């Protein structure tokens, strides 16, 4: 059985969280981006992407991500 875009987005989101918890911010951002392509209203992914960008000192990108909330 194939996954729905929403369930696939949740998988990418969860992978992003695991990477963020491991301080692997670039990988986290990549997974949050994939989740958002599949489910653009996944606000938790926007928030966590913004936080990951902040930790990488990518402040303007972080603000842009967080203002999409």
Q: Domain tally for the chain?
A: 1
Range of the domain at 62: 5-66
CA distance 3 to 46: 22
Please name the helix (run of DSSP H) or strand (run of DSSP E) that holds residue 36, with its range, or none: helix 25-38
Q: What is the pTM of this model?
A: 0.91
pLDDT reported for residue 18: 98
CATH, residue 48: 1.25.40.10
Residue 30 C-alpha from the chain's centroid: 7
Query: What's the pLDDT band for 68 if we cut at 50, 70, 90?
Result: confident
For residues 57, 55, 65 and 28, what is the CA-based torsion angle, rounded to 10 degrees? 130
Q: What is the pLDDT of residues 39-65, one digit of tens each?
A: 999 999 999 999 999 999 999 999 998
Query: What's the pLDDT band for 4 if we cut at 50, 70, 90?
Result: confident
CA distance 23 to 4: 29
């Amino acid at each position: 059985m194939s996954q729905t875009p929403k369930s696939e987005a949740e998988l990418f989101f969860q992978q992003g969280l695991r990477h963020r918890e491991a301080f692997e911010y670039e990988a986290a951002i990549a997974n949050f981006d994939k989740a958002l392509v599949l489910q653009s209203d996944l606000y938790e992914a926007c928030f966590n992407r913004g936080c990951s960008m902040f930790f990488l000192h990518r402040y303007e990108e972080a603000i842009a991500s967080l203002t999409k909330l």
